[in-house]
Amino acid sequence: MSSRAAPGGRRFQRPLTRTETWVTLLALIWLPLVAYVMFRPALGPAAPYLLLPAGPAVIVTYIMAVRRWHESRIALIGVTLVGFWLLVAVTVPYLPIADPNKPLVPLVPPATIRQGMLFVLGSDVRGRDILSRTLWGCQRVLVWGITATAVAYGVGAGFGLVGGYLGGWWDELVSFVGNIFLSFPVMVLFILVLDVLGPSGFNIILAVTCSSAPIIMRIVRGLALDARSRDYIQAAQTRGEHPLWIMLVELLPNVRGPLIVDACLRLGYTTVAITTLTFLGLGLQPPDPDWGLMIKEAAPAALLWKYSYMLIVPSLAVSSLILGFNFTADGLREMSQRD
């Protein structure tokens, strides 16, 4: 099918501004992280070396982002926050910190030395080092969050393109199914999906897709409806390109601006969803650390002022990451409105 379309596209190469570099860098960071977090048992002895190239990749990505977005201060703050947590996520196995799941000394207040070990952020009820749990927790949250958002985007954009570009019955069908999903309050939908399928990371991806994809679909559908009547699409149709090719290669890259902003916001929402679900016990399972789990475990224990650090540390961690996503989105929108 697409063989007919390919030559037409070859001839018409789009000058993508360094998109390949960005994609390569992000893949260098994301793929090892996914392999490391989701499929660690399958990796065997290779696991410890897997994340080594991701560290430099994060730094290069960060420098590129700063150089490109230096005009917006708010975007810089956002990118710095996200970059910090990404760097933590890829370097945490090599940092000289305690094992996050090993009980050492229970209820040590922050910045004290016990048994010849410095507990920078203290330890929790079961004696595990909170600094180590916070840093490791970021890895799980980021990997599942980014993956879930990416899957939701794939599904949502796919249906949105079908509905908006093809129109007619396709549009009616896609919109009706989307409306059904949208008529559930988000948390109710999460509870339902995870109760039926059982709590696990992969089911979180599914639940997030169910709730986010219809919204993404609406956005993409609107953009596609608007772009359908533009000259470049009609030119492509006249050239006889396949609808699939037009949708993916002509239409989608041209409406990417608002989508990138929305994706940043959605990364924040997904991070909230993942921590909230773990807090409710419906998401990722213990004992591996995760910020939602840390709040869940600390909530019944930290009923005194002197133990409140157990609640403060994970709350600040998750807030700073989401703040990073939201600031980036705000800065990007500001810049896109300026030009």
Which tokens sit at 70?
């230096």
Given 33, 135, 259, 295, the residue binding another protein (CB under 8 A): 295
Among 150, 248, 280, 301, indicate the residue that binds another protein (CB under 8 A): 280
Enclosing H/E stretch for 5: helix 2-11
Contact status, residue 77 vs residue 327, Cβ threshold 8 Å: yes
User: Pattern 163-192, binding to another protein, x per CB under 8 A?
Assistant: ----------------xx--xxxxxx--xx
- Which of 99, 172, 195, 226 touches another protein by CB under 8 A? 195
Give the separation between CA 259 and CA 109, rounded to whole angstroms: 44
116 Rama class: left (phi>0) / alpha (psi -120 to 50) / beta: left
Q: Are 88 and 138 in contact (CB under 8 A)?
A: yes
Of the ranges 64-72, 86-94, 158-166, 279-287, which one interacts with another protein (CB under 8 A)?
Answer: 279-287
Instruction: Assess 304 for contact with another protein (CB under 8 A).
Output: yes
With tokens 């869940």, the residue in question is 296
Q: Could you tell me the smallest distance in angstroms from the CB atom of residue 222 to another protein? A: 16
Backbone dihedral angles phi then psi of residue 277, each to the nearest 5 degrees: -65, -40
If you ran DSSP here, which 8-state letter would residue 306 be given? G
**CA-based nearest residue to 132, from 104, 174, 167:** 104
Cβ-contact 129, 100 below 8 angstroms:
yes
* Binding of another protein by 315 (CB under 8 A): yes
The residue among 268 and 289 lying less far from another protein, judged by its C-beta, is 268
Looking at the Cβ atoms of 208 and 298, the one nearer to another protein is 298
* Number of residues in the chain: 339
Strands 112-114, 117-119: pairing is antiparallel
Report whether 88 contacts 115 (CB < 8 A): no
Query: In the complex with another protein, which residue's Cβ is closer, 242 or 333?
Result: 333
Distance between CA 237 and CA 59 in Å, rounded?
A: 42
As measured in angstroms, the least distance from the Cβ of 102 to another protein is 25
Question: Rounded to the nearest whole angstrom, what is the least distance from the CB of residue 286 to another protein in the complex?
Answer: 16
271 binds another protein (CB under 8 A): yes
Stretch that binds another protein, among 16-24, 102-110, 128-136, 268-276 (CB under 8 A): 268-276
| Among 104, 281, 285, 288, interactor with another protein by CB under 8 A | 281
Applying CB under 8 A, which residues contact another protein? Answer: 179-180, 183-188, 191-192, 195-196, 268, 271-272, 275-276, 279-282, 292, 295, 298-299, 302-305, 308, 311-312, 314-316, 318-319, 322-323, 325-327, 330
